[in-house]
Structure 1
Amino acid sequence: MKQLSDLDWSTWEARDPATLVFVIRDGKILLIDKKTGLGKGKVNGPGGKVDPGETPEQCAVRECQEELGITVSNLEYCGEHRFQFVDGYSIHVWVYRTRDFSGEPVETREARPKWVSLDAIPYDRMWEDDRLWLPMLIRGERFQSRWIFDGDSMLDYEIRPDGQNEPWVE
């Protein structure tokens, strides 16, 4: 399995449902240095696996509380990723953005917070796909995507615009 066409996406189901959240405020984005789990050592947004009985939005709020000690609100749905890894692992990720949260981001066992200027996002320390869709999220564009990864290496992908363009207004 090296290409999107190697899979029957009509019957594809992810092993894990998960979320990602990006807080954008005053020309900066809140990222994390991930200290545990999938993507350990990479820069990403906070997020994680959806618990049984939990909606993706509820998971997004809980994960931000657990990883950064903040409570996000007014989450805006941005899109979904369907990741298939050649080792058999798969994950379906709901992606959100917001400017609204309470509390101060703090380092936890799982994550070290970092505010980064929107024009200085460290894509070289992130998953390879982030440079393709994160600018869409920042611009307010919705997306649906499918990805094939072999470990950290992206083998194939498709990004489909989804919905109205709603520019991010500072």
Structure 2
Amino acid sequence: MQHATLCYPIEDERVLLIRKKRGLGDGKYVGPGGKLEAGETPRECVVREVEEEVGVTVRDPEKVGEFRFVFGDDPRMYVHVFRAYDFEGTPTETPEADPEWFAFDDVPYDEMWDDDRLWLPHLFEGETFEGTFRFDADGEEMVDHELTFGVAL
């Protein structure tokens, strides 16, 4: 199972999302992040990935969640989810991502993965969570999920 990260920089009741330009989730809005490299911790990965994808340096990202994603019978990804209130830099478009700020009430859930609407509002509220999301083999439709809030990470 591939380990990866997601980060949600937050400022003034707004969240920074990216529209993916390539790879898994191409065309969808997601949090910046990516796959762990050999010997890298999830925290090191999320700092590196946010910097590479949008030119923003997150400081002291807070781990708030862990998810397992299964596509068909294939356990695909284990994702470490972070929230960041302290960061510097101006979000900049890259070959990987087009960043955009959204008010919490205006998050484009209809252009995101099906699971995001279930847990992202809880991230905005400061909660922690863990879960498993099962999608069809193509990753197009969520078919089942388990989700727990208020977990110790």
- Is 1:109 aligned to residue 109 of structure 2? no
Report the equivalent of 1:34. Answer: 20
Alpha-carbon displacement from aligned partner over 1:72-108 (angstroms, at most 9, x marks no partner): 0121110100001116251000000011111111000
Counterpart amino acid of 1:43?
Answer: Y
Alpha-carbon displacement from aligned partner over 1:34-87 (angstroms, at most 9, x marks no partner): 001110000011010000100000000000011001110121110100001116
- Is 1:161 aligned to residue 149 of structure 2? yes
Report the equivalent of 2:76. Answer: 90
How far did 1:153 drift? 0.4
**Percent of paired sites with the same residue:** 51
Alignment of structure 1 residues 2-17 onto 2, 5 Å: 14=1, 16-17=2-3
Count of aligned pairs between the two proteins:
150
Report the equivalent of 2:59. Answer: 73
Report the equivalent of 1:125. Answer: 111
Counterpart amino acid of 1:78?
Answer: V
TM-score (norm 2): 0.95
Q: 1:139 aligns with which of 103, 116, 125?
A: 125
Alpha-carbon displacement from aligned partner over 1:126-152 (angstroms, at most 9, x marks no partner): 000000000111111111101111122
Runs (4 or more) in structure 1 with deviation over 4 Å come to none
For 2:40 and 2:146, locate their aligned partners in 1 and report how far apart those are by CA, in whole Å: 28
For 2:69 and 2:151, locate their aligned partners in 1 and report how far apart those are by CA, in whole Å: 21
For 1:95 and 1:59, locate their aligned partners in 2 and report how far apart those are by CA, in whole Å: 11
Counterpart amino acid of 1:29?
Answer: V
**Larger-gyration structure (1/2):** 1
Retained in 2: the 8 A contact 1:79–1:162? no
